[in-house]
Structure 1
Amino acid sequence: MHTIWKGSISFGLVNIPIKLHAATEDKDIKLRSLHKKCHTPIKYEKICPVCEEELSPDDIVKGYEATKGKFIVLEDEELNELKKATEEKAVEIVDFIKMTEIDPIYFNRSYYMSPNDTGLKAYSLLREALTETKKAGIAKIVMRSKEQLAVIRVYNNTLLMETIHFPDEVRSVEDVPNVPEKSDVSKKELETAILLIDQLTTKFEPEKYEDEYRSKLLKLIESKQAGKEVVTPKPKEKKTNVSDLMSALQASIDQSKPKNTKKPAAKRKTTGKKKAE
């Protein structure tokens, strides 16, 4: 499993060297955008609309838009120094809480945590302590130049870290439009809805759910492939400057022609008098 981060967990005086591995993966089917005419994949280029130039990474800097159209430029050196000052490569557990106290809206991404060889015992200690107390740890970590809040809990005998949003990153429900404040449903309607919910209530078994759209899309792709409905981009034609080639050939021919160095004979002047017989 690919390692995406190396560091340590610390709680109190206990320090556990660990690695992070992505616990989930995106299985969306990636579709490329092709030119309809020749089926060539489209290129997305970074072009300055003012200079009308294609930009390389060295031509690009970061900027914060302070006001509309006004930017504060931040150099890479400044950002790197700030990153070094905050990134200590440590996941510091600052509190312990019950998982039921965290609303799912806060959850972001999940990562498995594996111990280094020197941290096996400390890893097991934290895992067993969290299991016995049915608690989770609240920690802070810097990843990808961003400080994140995280929850460390036990999942299937493995420590799992889930990044969670900071409170100011969760939008207020008061901004959601058209939410009725009072309920005007009747008691009979409510009882019927509760009965329906009870009838459909079951144990959560994630394996019985599937992405139906992805399955149908895969079948469509496979059927087209089986039917040889596969297109190939047209090969890029090599540019040959025919006019320049012809000019060069003609110039070569002109240079190879023998030059006539003899001057043309002068024309004899004639008079209007006839020669005497």
Structure 2
Amino acid sequence: MHTVWKGSISFGLVNIPIKLHTATENKDIKLRQLHKECHTPISYQKVCPGCDKEVKTEDIVKAYEYAKNKFVILDDEELEKLKKENEDKAVEIVDFVKLEEIDPIYFEKSYFIAPDNGGAKAYSLLRKALVESGKIGIAKIIIRSKEQLAVVRVYKDTLLMETIHFPDEVRNVDEVPNVPAEQLVVQKELDTALMLVDQLTTTFDPEKYNDDYRTALMDLIEEKKSGKETVTTTEKQPAATSNVTDLMSALQASLDKTKTKKTTTRKRKPVAAKSTNDKKTTTALKNA
């Protein structure tokens, strides 16, 4: 497994060197967008609409929009300094609570915790303490420049860290529109609903649930591959920049202009122009 974070976790005076590994993965099937005419993958460029030109990475700065079209620019150095001041690569468990006290709406992303060199004994101690107490730890950690609230718990035989949202990141449920108020429920309807719930009640087994859409989509893709319903594209050179395009257009227009002055209707290639045409071509290039 790839290590996404390396540091330590502590509770009390116990310090455990650890590594974090992403516990889940997105299995969505990614579809590319192709040009319908030639089946070339579509590329996306960063373009400044104000200057109407492509912007390079080194010409981009970060900013916070505090009002419509009003920004505060933040330098990379300022952000890096702020990050270092708040990231000491140590995770401190500040509280222990019961898992059922946390509503699932707060949970965000899961990471497996593995002990780093010399951390096996302390790792086992924390794991045992969590199992025996029936509690989970509440901690803070900075991952990818963002401070996260997290819980540390035991999953099977492994310590697991799950980042959770801060309270102000969970929207106010009172703002949900069209939620019906308490209404009188007919007892017979309630009894029928409870009977249905009872019939469908079982022990949770994650292995019985599958992504039917993803399976059907992969079947369709494999079917098309087997039937040779495929297209092939070749890598192409990046398009010329706007300056070069404008220059070539000007040159071509100049050459076309010289052609209209010739008395013969026979087409001539620009590269074949010689002698008396040299002066005209030179003048055309200067005008471009």
TM range (shorter): 0.7 to 0.9
1:25 equivalent to 2:25? Answer: yes
Name the structure 1 match of 2:273: 250
Name the structure 2 match of 1:11: 11
1:165 equivalent to 2:188? Answer: no
User: After superposition, what is the alpha-carbon deviation per residue over 1:167-224, rounded to whole angstroms, capped at 9, x for unaligned?
Assistant: 0000111001111121222111111101100000001000010000000000000000
Partner Cα separation in structure 1 for residue 42 and residue 221 of structure 2: 20
Q: 1:252 to 1:129 in 2, by over 3 A?
A: farther
Instruction: For residue 124 of structure 1, give the secondary structure of its aligned residue in structure 2.
Output: helix
Partner Cα separation in structure 2 for residue 114 and residue 234 of structure 1: 44
Q: 1:254 to 1:196 in 2, by over 3 A?
A: closer
1:184 equivalent to 2:207? Answer: no
Partner Cα separation in structure 2 for residue 253 and residue 99 of structure 1: 91
Q: TM-score, normalised by structure 1?
A: 0.87
Q: 1:154 to 1:49 in 2, by over 3 A?
A: same
Name the structure 2 match of 1:75: 75
2:214 alignment partner AA: R
Partner Cα separation in structure 2 for residue 235 and residue 123 of structure 1: 50
1:201 alignment partner AA: T
Structure 1: segments with no counterpart, 5+ residues: 256-277
Q: CA deviation at 1:252?
A: 7.1
Q: TM-score, normalised by structure 2?
A: 0.84
Partner Cα separation in structure 2 for residue 219 and residue 123 of structure 1: 44
Over the aligned positions, Cα root-mean-square deviation in angstroms equals: 2.1
- Aligned residue-pair number: 254
Q: CA deviation at 1:37?
A: 1.1
Name the structure 1 match of 2:109: 109
Instruction: For residue 95 of structure 1, give the secondary structure of its aligned residue in structure 2.
Output: strand
Pairing 1:1-277 to 2, within 5 Å after superposition:
1-233=1-233, 236=236, 246-251=269-274
Q: 1:118 to 1:69 in 2, by over 3 A?
A: same
1:251 alignment partner AA: K
Structure label with greater radius of gyration: 1
User: After superposition, what is the alpha-carbon deviation per residue over 1:71-117, rounded to whole angstroms, capped at 9, x for unaligned?
Assistant: 11111111000000001111110000000101000000000000012
Q: CA deviation at 1:235?
A: 6.2
Partner Cα separation in structure 1 for residue 146 and residue 236 of structure 2: 43
Name the structure 1 match of 2:262: none
Partner Cα separation in structure 1 for residue 274 and residue 31 of structure 2: 52
Q: 1:251 to 1:176 in 2, by over 3 A?
A: same
Instruction: For residue 119 of structure 2, give the secondary structure of its aligned residue in structure 1.
Output: helix
Partner Cα separation in structure 1 for residue 21 and residue 126 of structure 2: 18
User: After superposition, what is the alpha-carbon deviation per residue over 1:102-152, rounded to whole angstroms, capped at 9, x for unaligned?
Assistant: 100000000000001211100000000000001000000001111000000
The answer on whether the counterparts of 1:39 and 1:234 sit within 8 Å (CA) in structure 2 is no
1:140 alignment partner AA: K
Q: Identity rate of aligned residues, in percent?
A: 63
Structure 2: segments with no counterpart, 5+ residues: 241-247, 256-267, 279-288
